[in-house]
Amino acid sequence: MMSVLIVIHLLVVIALVGVVLLQRSEGGALGTGGGGGFMTGRGQANALSRATAILGGLFFASALLMSIIAGWNRTPRSIIDETGSSKTSTEKPAEPNLLDQLKGSAAPAAPETPAPPK
């Protein structure tokens, strides 16, 4: 189901990019303004703006639907109940780091006792 939605979503995205690129530029000196094309005048503005609105709505709906479907399998959990130090039995114990090895190899010095007075 999710794969079908992703393919539909990608097709809508590609169509939306194409429709937006076909629209006439109304910016200042950013380009030629769209010269000749397969449609001219008001027909182009109405059809392309309507197609942009429809494809934008489809994009929004498909993204929302994919988000809802992805959340169905999630179970609620609390971060308070979890303990950060718990390990599962499949994990192997951590190897001692260099500092632990140095501490273990250094023999503790015997405390110096003062010599008894003579």
Q: Hey, what long-range contacts does 19-25 have (CB within 8 A, 24 or more apart)?
A: 19/48, 19/51, 19/52, 19/55, 20/52, 22/48, 23/48, 23/49, 23/52
What is the pTM for the complete model shown? 0.52
> What digits encode the pLDDT tens for the residues 23-68?
877 665 455 555 555 555 556 678 888 999 999 999 999 999 999 9
Are 25 and 31 in contact by the 8 Å Cβ rule? The answer is yes
Q: Which helix (H) or strand (E) holds 115?
A: none
Task: Note the pLDDT of residue 32.
Answer: 54
